Structure 1
Amino acid sequence: MGSAGVPVVVGLDNGGTSNNATVLTVDGRFLVDGLLEIPSEVRSGPDAAIEALARALDGALAQTGVPRELVRAVGLDTPGPASATGVISSRGSTNFSQPAWRGFDVRGALQRRLGLPVIYHNDGNAAALYAHHVYFGDEAMARSSVAAIVGTGLGGGVVESGKVIAGAAGMAGELGHVHIPLNGLLGPGQPEPTCACGFTGDVESVASLTGIERNLLPYWLTRHPDHPLAAEPLARAAKLVRGYGERGDALARDLFTQQAMALGRLFTVAANFTDPHAYFVGGGVVEAAPEFRDWFLATVREHTVLREEQAAVATFALVPDRDMAGARGVAIAALEALRAVPEPRPLVA
């Protein structure tokens, strides 16, 4: 429960079906230990979804016994694509498919509804920020990291000195659409993978659930025509393949080796572009049996090419507490915003 009189920030993780909420004190203590979910109502349109987010905040405060007057700011994350200020893409998205969502300012609408400052990140950036701060602790503000979150698509984030790099248009950290070399990654006769965004050979076309259904599984089933997954509808088979991977199935391990190789090549790009202290992997692919997720992370590491000096200081790790990482990440972002100091004066006239 909350400590009497200690101000807090609230983190709200908005998803296609549920909102998850957490509460973080200004002295850095999370007051919610696990998931605190309610329906997100996003399919009912923006008005219903904003009200659901407000209810999620009220529920978190009731759960922790924190008076509303102690809330100083709110962190919000949603699935992308969206701008750095929380404006949903003009084309909508998988979760925000109704026309009313296109170009909708979800951050601004929630801020008006709550009467509190709202800080926004997409869900990949939020998870990346949480992983960074949990792993580095007291040293977080002096460290850098890159995180790849494997889900329906491929999200992620780049963190430098404890802060998410947003970019000029808010598109930094869209790691799924980084092109990677395919030589040596594809099997004999395997078509070049295509992404729903229109790219060919980006990371998401391989390392995502959509990539499995669209590109990887159709190929590997031609190599294993008698495999039990061949009798399943492709969309269902794509969701089942991880279970086979956990049991050491040859088709599944070949498929996930390709995903791990793709992430390794992405991290090789990151090594030569940002040279981070840590590389994090999260998402459904690592929500698996320990042997499988350890094998997968080791395979990613094997296919990440680092210089000797980089290998001596870099680490590879899994994103912790994935179900809570989004809400906790944006709560950290809200707390960072409260602690921010004005920019220094220019060094040159």
Structure 2
Amino acid sequence: MAKRRSPGSQGALRAANEARVVSALRGSPATQSEIAERTGLAHATVSNIVRDLRERGAVSTAPTVHQGRRASLVTLERAEGPTVVGVDFGRQHVRIAVAADDPIVLVEDEVALAPGHRADESLAIAAERLDELLRDAGLRRADVAAICVGVPCPIDRRTGSILGHSILPEWDGVTRDRIGEAFGMPVEVANDSDLGAIAERSFGAYSGVDDLIFVKIGTGIGSGLVIGGRLHSGAFGIAGELGHVQVDANGTLCVCGSRGCLETLASARVMAQSLSAAFGRPITTADIVRQAIDGDPATRRVVADAGVAIGRAVANAANLLAPSAVVVGGPLAEAGELLLEPVRDGFRRFALHPLATSTEIAGTTLGSRAEVLGAVTLARQTARAAAFI
């Protein structure tokens, strides 16, 4: 059975707290002390969130008096433009965000899904949770102008079908129309790594960078490519399958039919299998991150070996595309420098010297929200384009 999952990273916690502040302001303006009372958040937390929202134009502040003391009255600026929805499906989760045509995500939540979840069941869960979130925001399904759904699979742009044989085999062949039927309206469907790249260029530390590669390391390994300021998905929509770049010609057979693909050496799934065999107990992706941070030598070795292999594959891509930045995301990115430094090491070994000395490799600042923020951005673009038809 699907269940709600509490935020597992600082980025997700920050998003949840911001949503609580926005919700507290939806009925009427309030002082920061009143916001703290309504949300249960610490005054310092409220102050920081209000400051960030004000810088983004999402709220305005004005001097007032509260309980005989000078205070700041915070007012939520009414969003202009359509309401849009971003949905991010993973191997074991779905994250949903409802946003207006402004920087604010109005409401957001993540629900855990069982491994091997089937499309019809998971789409029904997502649609039901979306209706609940819309009600929380005082909206209805009819108010939604566009929905973008992200999946960890390539999308054949010619047919609108998911090619899910690797990460979500249960979704293989599911079409865009079938997903749209579940949500009761047409949807955009996109690869999750592509959405991560869109989010990094729109919200992340590399906003406005015209040439970057977003690498997502999870159950599989994918990449989103921004070239010349535009997302590059290739002739058929499946560009960026970094996980199927061959790094060992005599390596393990991959589900794609080739041998020695990057995913057979460096995905979270393979790392977990290796460590489970070593420890004699099941190891999860979260365990890998925790054990690496705690200093377990076997885990650190597995993470380092994976990082070098990923760096080598990224270098091969960079030698063709010459990005100015490579951003690493996905669940394994929470290992921080324990993963990033080996990635840089592998990159420096195999990238052309000008790239090895100038291309920046860093972790995402968006945490687990990158893909859903990319979905919101793409949905917003769809809604704006529809307004001119």
TM range (shorter): 0.7 to 0.9
Once residues 284 and 88 of structure 2 are traced to their aligned partners in structure 1, the CA distance between those partners, rounded to angstroms, is 29
Match of residue 135 from structure 1: 204
Match of residue 319 from structure 1: 364
1:153 to 214, 220, 231: 220
Shift of 1:52: 2.4
The DSSP-based 3-state class of the residue aligned with 1:148 is strand
- In 2, are the aligned partners of 1:17 and 1:40 still within 8 Å (CA)? yes
Tell me the matched-pair count. 308
1:36 and 2:109 aligned? yes
Match of residue 294 from structure 2: 247
Q: Deviations over 1:36-80 (max 9, x none)?
A: 134658967544333323223222322333454442211101232
Larger Rg: 2
Shift of 1:217: 5.0
Taking structure 1 as the reference length, what is the TM-score of the superposition?
Answer: 0.75
Match of residue 57 from structure 2: none
1:211 to 252, 260, 270: 270
Once residues 115 and 269 of structure 2 are traced to their aligned partners in structure 1, the CA distance between those partners, rounded to angstroms, is 21
Structure 1, unaligned stretches of length 5 or more?
Answer: 183-190, 219-228, 342-349
The DSSP-based 3-state class of the residue aligned with 1:206 is helix
Once residues 58 and 77 of structure 1 are traced to their aligned partners in structure 2, the CA distance between those partners, rounded to angstroms, is 18
Match of residue 161 from structure 2: 87
Once residues 270 and 126 of structure 2 are traced to their aligned partners in structure 1, the CA distance between those partners, rounded to angstroms, is 31
1:118 to 166, 171, 187: 187
1:14 and 2:89 aligned? yes
1:109 to 178, 183, 189: 178
Match of residue 188 from structure 1: none
Shift of 1:247: 2.7
- In 2, are the aligned partners of 1:149 and 1:155 still within 8 Å (CA)? yes
Q: Deviations over 1:165-213 (max 9, x none)?
A: 222222211110012368xxxxxxxx84443433322211221123325
Once residues 103 and 286 of structure 2 are traced to their aligned partners in structure 1, the CA distance between those partners, rounded to angstroms, is 37
Question: What code does the residue aligned with 1:299 have?
Answer: P
Once residues 355 and 361 of structure 2 are traced to their aligned partners in structure 1, the CA distance between those partners, rounded to angstroms, is 12
The DSSP-based 3-state class of the residue aligned with 2:380 is helix
Inter-CA distance 70–277: structure 2 relative to 1 (3 Å threshold): farther
- In 2, are the aligned partners of 1:37 and 1:56 still within 8 Å (CA)? no
Higher relative contact order (CA 8 A, sep 6+): 1
Match of residue 202 from structure 1: 261
The DSSP-based 3-state class of the residue aligned with 1:236 is coil
Once residues 151 and 66 of structure 1 are traced to their aligned partners in structure 2, the CA distance between those partners, rounded to angstroms, is 34
- In 2, are the aligned partners of 1:73 and 1:334 still within 8 Å (CA)? yes
Match of residue 347 from structure 1: none
The DSSP-based 3-state class of the residue aligned with 2:222 is strand
Matches within 5 A, 1:271-310: 271-288=318-335, 293-305=336-348, 306-307=351-352, 309-310=354-355
Shift of 1:259: 0.9
1:331 and 2:376 aligned? yes
Question: What code does the residue aligned with 2:303 have?
Answer: F
Q: Deviations over 1:82-112 (max 9, x none)?
A: 42465233x7555343xxx54221x212324
Question: What code does the residue aligned with 2:261 have?
Answer: D
- In 2, are the aligned partners of 1:86 and 1:121 still within 8 Å (CA)? no
1:232 to 274, 280, 292: 280
- In 2, are the aligned partners of 1:50 and 1:109 still within 8 Å (CA)? no
1:53 and 2:53 aligned? no
Matches within 5 A, 1:173-212: 173-180=240-247, 192-212=251-271
Once residues 27 and 238 of structure 1 are traced to their aligned partners in structure 2, the CA distance between those partners, rounded to angstroms, is 34
Inter-CA distance 73–260: structure 2 relative to 1 (3 Å threshold): same
- In 1, are the aligned partners of 2:89 and 2:151 still within 8 Å (CA)? yes
- In 1, are the aligned partners of 2:248 and 2:259 still within 8 Å (CA)? no
Inter-CA distance 265–181: structure 2 relative to 1 (3 Å threshold): farther
**What is the root-mean-square deviation in Å for CA atoms of aligned residues?**
3.3
Once residues 237 and 231 of structure 2 are traced to their aligned partners in structure 1, the CA distance between those partners, rounded to angstroms, is 10
1:72 and 2:145 aligned? yes
1:265 and 2:312 aligned? yes
Once residues 16 and 181 of structure 1 are traced to their aligned partners in structure 2, the CA distance between those partners, rounded to angstroms, is 26
Shift of 1:267: 1.7
- In 2, are the aligned partners of 1:14 and 1:77 still within 8 Å (CA)? yes
Structure 2, unaligned stretches of length 5 or more?
Answer: 1-21, 27-77
Shift of 1:240: 4.1
Once residues 14 and 237 of structure 1 are traced to their aligned partners in structure 2, the CA distance between those partners, rounded to angstroms, is 19
Which range moved further: 267-276 or 57-66?
Answer: 57-66
Shift of 1:136: 5.2
- In 1, are the aligned partners of 2:326 and 2:360 still within 8 Å (CA)? yes
Shift of 1:273: 1.1
Q: Deviations over 1:294-339 (max 9, x none)?
A: 2321221232134454456532221233322222111111223344
Structure having the higher strand fraction is 2
